[in-house]
Amino acid sequence: MKLTWGPSGPSDGIEAPYKVAITGIGAVTCVGIGKDAFWKGISQAEVTGDRHILDFEPSTWLNPKEIRRTDRYNQFGIAAADLALADAGEFHVDPAMVGIMMGTGVGGLESLENQVVLQYEKGASRVSPFLVPLMMANASSASLSMRYGYHGPCETTVTACAAGAHAIIRAAKTIASGRCKVMLAGGTEAALTSTAYAGFVNMTAMSNVNISRPFDKDRDGFVMTEGGAVLVLEELEFAKARGAKIYAIIAGSGSNADAFHITAPAPHGVGAASCMKLALEDSGIQPNEIVHINAHGTSTPLNDLSESEAIISIFGPDAPPTTSIKGALGHALGGAGALGIAAAALTIENGYIAPTANTKNIDPDIHLDIVINEPRKMSAGPVISNSFGFGGHNSSIVLVPPE
């Protein structure tokens, strides 16, 4: 990972003084809560039905007063962070050296919608005095810093579906620079409201049959879900010294913009390809060393085709085995990138690639080795995870196995 880039990009930049390890994973999803349930859920060959998180009980993590003052998206972030910290185990460090980086696409949309209806039906005096902290996009990162007493950088990234991944990139760079020893980073979303759902349906982005099947010839749009993931990131030597379990090391990252369209990807995935190239250069890893691609893979006709073209342009006709966890989960918007990176880290740990759920017949125009039907054993090596968001926001992260 490079901290500075030269005229030719990260390839001739100055190496960061510290390496960054993933030591804790917390996930809250419609297929399971906690890293083990999440991994089991995304390893299924077929997942359909309601993508709400039906078994989420906020009282497991929050008292009644806290529940009233936190939107559902924030509750997911708190639960995922608690799970990630429990998974990472106890560490002792100056609170000023621990920071928070969280991503979301829309923040507290459910609370905003509810209060708009209340104001319309019963008047402005009935609007909750807590509406602003309920709906603000930075509530998740702020809540976590106050919950744990961490005084390091506390920031929020709002880059649509790439937000969670961008937050993790930002957190990793913060550790790599020496500013912090530990960071909590991830993304969370709870945008399955009636109005948001209608908006996506009316823009014809959603599946008409409510099936997410990335890269399938019959894909007809994405299926929206809710949830998110939080990772504990640590400076590698600090993690080793305390005997922490290390899932993976963040070797490099890329971030750029399509600068093309507010919702559609750039033709032929040129922005996505450039982003993957940046991530590989930042990590010092050659394309032929990558053993697996965790794709953005939303199940929309344009996204899947453009991403496949981007992958071929970087990795060639023999691109590594590729999967999309959105077949199982659906699309968690601002939480999706963090979930993708969590899945990539667990892929390295488990040594096999989860299948792309619901995908049965790969689009003949997509010339990739898409993992379908059952998990596939994977050789140890670097993995790349992609997240691309509305507005042309792109992110790619390269993970490598523990040293």
Residues known to be catalytic: 161, 296, 331
Phi, psi (5° rounding) for residue 379?
A: -75, 155
Cα→Cα distances 324→76, 147, 215, 294, Å: 22, 33, 9, 6
The number of CA neighbours under 13 Å toward the Cβ of 37 is: 15
Contact 146, 69 (CB under 8 A): no
Contact 391, 245 (CB under 8 A): no
Q: Where are the beta strands (DSSP E) in 7-104?
A: 9-15, 20-29, 32-33, 98-103
Buried b (16+ CB within 10 A) or exposed e, 25-34: bbbbbbbbbb
Pairing, β 322-323 against β 98-103: unpaired
In three-state secondary structure terms, 242 is: coil
